[in-house]
């Protein structure tokens, strides 16, 4: 399930394993770059340096890829990213994890092909915008190392139960506008009198007035004490009692029926269209849902761990 770490493995591009090599490369490039004639160390992260050239390059990279605007906020964002990456690489080295040049190059080749380029063409395109290819490689490397660090440290701590998967599938089904019928059930207390029934019907009517389509059924139900949502197949409507069955049959897709009263509850039905595949029984869907839940939990642990690492780090600003 290593593909699950989406946020950790995409969108980022990282630091070299050996900072000394990176600084040397920066110095060599500076000899040929008017804008980087003098490289000054601005920050030490547990003795790993970040230079003004590093920060400038990361700013240029963000301006190019994220359409960020130059200014103090961009400088701060670039600096924070570099500090985090230095810490991530340091944690990797503690576990014997360093960036693989072959893996980094594979990611570069994939990025280039998606832009109808080869790796040399991608490098040239970046250089035309004032960004050295090492800036991109650095970010890729740091992300790869951090992904492996998080997996190694926390993978055994994250266990996804069948109940979690079922709940996620239920929420996805309830929040989808793509099929079946959504039943909202507002339970009645045992022995409810007419006043209690009337109050519950009024509550259901208020809920129905806020219905904006099948996508908000779940959020509507969360605002009503005791309300539950159940996904039904279209053919299940034939088993409903009257008048619910007639109301559902006559409702148009995207409409919610008026409330109907049973002995135990007041019920509403949202008609969402023809049946979608039974996701809960689809093993591929379940596997993907499990990976998504695991990814979310790992990302949370990764963010907390990085915060703890930073709190313990020695960061010197010069």
The predicted pLDDT at position 171 comes to 61
The predicted pLDDT at position 306 comes to 95
Give 160's Cβ-side CA count (13 Å radius): 21
Most confident range, picked from 79-93, 158-172, 177-191: 79-93
- Residue 213's CB: how many other CB atoms inside 10 A? 13
What top-level class would CATH report for the domain 177-273?
A: alpha beta
Per-residue model confidence as pLDDT tens digits over 252-286: 888 889 998 988 889 989 888 654 444 344 556 77
The predicted pLDDT at position 24 comes to 32
In the chain, what is the straight-line distance between the N-terminal and C-terminal CA atoms, in Å? 42
Residue 7: pLDDT band with limits 50, 70, 90: very low
The predicted pLDDT at position 274 comes to 52
Name the least confident of 41-55, 80-94, 121-135, 162-176.
162-176
Residues 221, 227 contacting (CB under 8 angstroms) = yes
Position 92 pLDDT exceeds 90: yes
Q: Report percent pLDDT > 90 for the chain.
A: 34
Provide mean pLDDT across the span 57-78.
92
Q: In what order do the strands lie in the sheet with 228-232?
A: 228-232, 180-187, 265-273, 260-261
The predicted pLDDT at position 283 comes to 59
Rounded distance between C-alpha atoms, residue 109 and residue 8, angstroms:
19
**2-159+290-317 and 177-273 in the same fold:** no
The predicted pLDDT at position 282 comes to 53
Provide mean pLDDT across the span 48-70.
92
The predicted pLDDT at position 98 comes to 92
pTM for the structure as a whole: 0.56
Residue of 190, 231, 223 whose CA lies nearest to 206: 223
- The mean pLDDT value of the chain amounts to 79
* CATH of span 2-159+290-317: 1.10.4030.10
Residues 5, 147 contacting (CB under 8 angstroms) = yes
Provide mean pLDDT across the span 188-207.
87
Domain ranges of the chain: 2-159+290-317, 177-273
Q: Which residues pair with 232 in a beta bridge?
A: 181
Position 91 pLDDT exceeds 80: yes
Most confident range, picked from 131-140, 154-163, 172-181: 131-140
Residue 133: pLDDT band with limits 50, 70, 90: very high
Residues 4, 298 contacting (CB under 8 angstroms) = yes
């Amino acid at each position: 399930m290593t593909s699950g770490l989406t946020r950790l493995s995409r969108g980022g591009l990282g630091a070299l394993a050996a900072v000394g090599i990176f600084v040397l490369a920066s110095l060599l490039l500076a000899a040929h770059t008017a804008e980087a004639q003098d490289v000054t160390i601005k920050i030490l992260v547990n003795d790993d340096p970040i230079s003004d050239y590093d920060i400038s390059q990361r700013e240029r990279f963000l301006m190019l890829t994220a359409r960020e605007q130059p200014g103090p906020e961009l400088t701060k964002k670039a600096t924070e990213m570099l500090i985090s990456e230095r810490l991530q690489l340091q944690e990797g080295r503690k576990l014997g994890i360093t960036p693989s040049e072959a893996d980094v190059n594979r990611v570069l080749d994939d990025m280039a092909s998606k832009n109808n380029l080869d790796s040399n063409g991608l490098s040239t395109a970046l250089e035309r915008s004032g960004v050295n290819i090492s800036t991109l490689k650095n970010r890729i490397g740091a992300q790869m190392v951090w992904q492996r660090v998080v997996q190694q440290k926390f993978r055994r701590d994250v266990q996804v139960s069948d109940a979690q998967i079922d709940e996620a599938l239920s929420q996805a089904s309830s929040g989808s506008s793509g099929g079946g019928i959504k039943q909202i059930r507002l339970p009645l207390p045992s022995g409810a009198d007419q006043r209690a029934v009337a109050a519950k019907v009024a509550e259901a009517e208020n809920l129905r007035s806020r219905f904006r389509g099948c996508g908000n059924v779940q959020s509507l139900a969360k605002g009503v004490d005791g309300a539950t949502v159940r996904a039904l197949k279209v053919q299940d409507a034939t088993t409903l009692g009257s008048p619910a069955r007639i109301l559902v049959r006559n409702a148009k897709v995207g409409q919610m029926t008026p409330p109907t009263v049973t002995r135990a509850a007041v019920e509403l039905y949202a008609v969402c269209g023809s049946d979608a595949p039974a996701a809960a029984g689809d093993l591929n869907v379940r596997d993907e849902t499990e990976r998504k839940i695991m990814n979310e939990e790992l990302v949370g642990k990764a963010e907390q761990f990085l915060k703890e690492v930073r709190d313990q780090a020695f960061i010197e600003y010069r």
